[in-house]
């Protein structure tokens, strides 16, 4: 029989070497629109560098930056080389830097000018001839949302995104995918009029986190969880995305957006769909994305009164976070002094299908809260206590399966155990699996997996058009109800707290309570 240490060593060895089995991505040229912005410098280029370190970046790779600012290819390459050490998550290896920046070009132009795309075409032709990228092109739209449709249309009309001779052409767009149901439908309609669905990659960086990806493995690769993953055993689900950051200098954008639009149709609904989806027929992009879209489509659409009753919206006021004074949201730069934009939202949602009938899903997200914390907590039903009625047991601890996503990547199980001693006394205990204890997890930006998957054509982690619209279909009744009553029900909470008391009352009326924000 194999010794326990041998088993553990075998598990660890297999886990730590699994990443080496992945193949390098296809030869390609990455074209970044909005190349002079923060996203490129802080996240995209460091992610490309990490892929190069891991041997996953194509051996034949080139990068074209597109921006309005005057620059040259040499200056752009130097700028990226200078900024990489500031934002890299790992030590700098010059060989890996060379892999990323050995072929860099820059195109200056307006995104709605046809000449811009002719310039890009000439650079692509040169690179494909000199570098041998085989015509594979990945267009990354690191631009404000207003640029998505115009750039996508120009890529289609110019022929730059037309697939031929076995070469692939893919387009990546960042969230938000619209600002309401109508705009999301319009964006999808415009893009799908030019591009095929399998060419469009709608990126949500939350899905690049290992713990988020592990939700599917946890559910479907372990025989002990899926049999109890339903209304018979689960009482409710809590999904929390708490941020300690304020709006800082993003007031102009945020005041026109709010917490609901900014976080719920993308980050929180992606987590909900992974938790609540039915098992896909196979581990393939179309099967997984179909199940995610179906479960979002099964969420009950509330009436106006139900939307107001089952939601909480709030703004933060003056307070302290980590002993640092924080001014109220309405005092932030570029925020209207009488703003009714929410910085916090909590929702109660019900899924109308066999698996989740009568199981509430509670969602909350907000800025300027006590701490940064993202977790999914699955509350299992209470065990019968009849057998303990003659013992000094006041109540049993709650049984939770907790999936920690950030800042702690872990999976925890909370259950009851007997406290040592001659009498029967029960106490709540917990077991926690931390990724860092079992795997060599190198620091990352969260974009590595997503960029790599796009380069190899794996769209499992990317939402499809119907999934995007299904999410907005759920959010729209809340937007409509709040629009019709802009000041009614707008609560407040102190910066550095767990949120408004009204959010506590949302659960308290069901006899439940939020888990504390660490």
For residues 9 and 438, give the distance between their C-alpha atoms in angstroms, rounded to a whole number: 10
For residues 47 and 44, give the distance between their C-alpha atoms in angstroms, rounded to a whole number: 5
For residues 375 and 409, give the distance between their C-alpha atoms in angstroms, rounded to a whole number: 9
Give the active site residue among 232, 233, 267, 513: 267
For residues 397 and 414, give the distance between their C-alpha atoms in angstroms, rounded to a whole number: 8
For residues 499 and 366, give the distance between their C-alpha atoms in angstroms, rounded to a whole number: 8
Between the CA of residue 19 and those of 179, 201, 271, 334, what are the distances in Å? 37, 23, 24, 45
Residue identified by tokens 């120009």 is 154
Closest CA to 394 of 422, 428, 420: 428
Across-strand partners of 377? 238, 402
Residue identified by tokens 């009164």 is 305
For residues 152 and 361, give the distance between their C-alpha atoms in angstroms, rounded to a whole number: 36
For residues 75 and 394, give the distance between their C-alpha atoms in angstroms, rounded to a whole number: 70
Whether the CB-CB separation of 474 and 272 falls below 8 Å is answered with no
Is there a catalytic annotation at residue 236? no
Residue identified by tokens 């941020």 is 243
Q: What is the 3-state secondary structure (H, E, C) of 83-132?
A: HHHHHCCCCCCHHHHHHHHCCEEEEECCCCCHHHHHHHHHHHHHHHHHHC
Whether the CB-CB separation of 97 and 2 falls below 8 Å is answered with no
For residues 184 and 172, give the distance between their C-alpha atoms in angstroms, rounded to a whole number: 16
Closest CA to 95 of 55, 127, 126: 55
Work out whether the CA dihedral 286, 292, 293, 294 comes out positive or negative: positive
Residues with a catalytic annotation lie at 267
């Amino acid at each position: 029989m194999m010794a326990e240490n041998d088993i553990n060593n075998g598990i660890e060895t297999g886990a730590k070497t699994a990443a080496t089995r992945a193949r390098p991505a296809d030869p390609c040229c990455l074209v970044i629109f909005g190349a002079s912005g923060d996203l490129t410098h802080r996240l995209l280029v460091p992610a490309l560098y990490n892929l190069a370190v891991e041997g996953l970046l194509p051996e034949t790779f080139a990068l074209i930056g597109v921006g309005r600012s005057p620059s040259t290819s040499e200056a752009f390459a130097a700028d990226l080389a200078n900024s990489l050490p500031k934002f890299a998550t790992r030590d700098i290896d010059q060989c890996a830097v060379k892999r990323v920046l050995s072929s860099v070009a820059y195109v200056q132009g307006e995104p709605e000018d046809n000449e811009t795309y002719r310039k890009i075409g000439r650079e692509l032709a040169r690179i494909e001839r000199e570098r041998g990228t085989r015509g594979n092109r990945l267009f990354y739209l690191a631009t404000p949302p207003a640029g998505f449709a115009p750039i996508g249309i120009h890529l289609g009309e110019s022929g730059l995104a037309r697939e031929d001779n076995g070469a692939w052409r893919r387009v990546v767009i960042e969230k938000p995918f619209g600002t309401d149901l109508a705009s999301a439908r319009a964006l999808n309609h415009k893009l799908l009029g030019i591009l095929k669905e399998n060419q469009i990659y709608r990126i949500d960086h939350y899905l690049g986190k290992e713990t988020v990806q592990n939700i599917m493995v946890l559910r479907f690769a372990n025989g002990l969880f899926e049999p109890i993953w339903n209304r018979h055993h689960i009482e409710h689900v809590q999904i929390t995305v708490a941020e300690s950051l304020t709006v800082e200098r993003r007031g102009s954008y945020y005041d026109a957006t709010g917490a609901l639009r900014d976080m719920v149709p993308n980050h929180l609904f992606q987590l909900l769909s992974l938790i609540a989806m039915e098992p896909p027929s196979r581990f393939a992009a179309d099967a997984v994305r179909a199940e995610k879209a179906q479960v979002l489509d099964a969420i009950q659409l509330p009436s106006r009164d139900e939307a107001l009753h089952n939601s909480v919206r709030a703004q933060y006021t003056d307070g302290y976070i980590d002993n640092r004074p924080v001014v109220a949201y309405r005092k932030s730069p570029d925020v209207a002094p009488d703003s009714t934009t929410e910085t916090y939202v909590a929702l109660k949602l019900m899924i109308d299908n066999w698996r989740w009938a009568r199981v509430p899903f509670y969602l909350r997200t907000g800025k300027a809260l006590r701490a940064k914390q993202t977790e999914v907590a699955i509350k299992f039903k209470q065990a019968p206590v009849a057998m303990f009625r003659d013992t000094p047991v006041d109540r049993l601890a709650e049984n939770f399966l907790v999936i920690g996503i950030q800042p702690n990547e872990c999976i925890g199980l909370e259950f009851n155990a007997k406290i040592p001693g001659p009498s029967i006394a029960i106490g709540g205990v917990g077991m926690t699996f931390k990724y860092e204890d079992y795997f060599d997890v190198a620091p990352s930006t969260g974009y590595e997996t997503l960029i790599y998957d796009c380069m190899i054509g794996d769209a499992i982690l990317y939402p499809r058009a119907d999934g995007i619209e299904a999410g907005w279909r759920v959010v729209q009744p809340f937007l409509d109800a709040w629009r019709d009553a802009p000041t009614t029900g707008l609560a407040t909470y102190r910066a550095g707290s767990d949120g408004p008391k009204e959010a506590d009352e949302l659960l308290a009326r069901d006899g439940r309570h939020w888990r504390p924000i660490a």
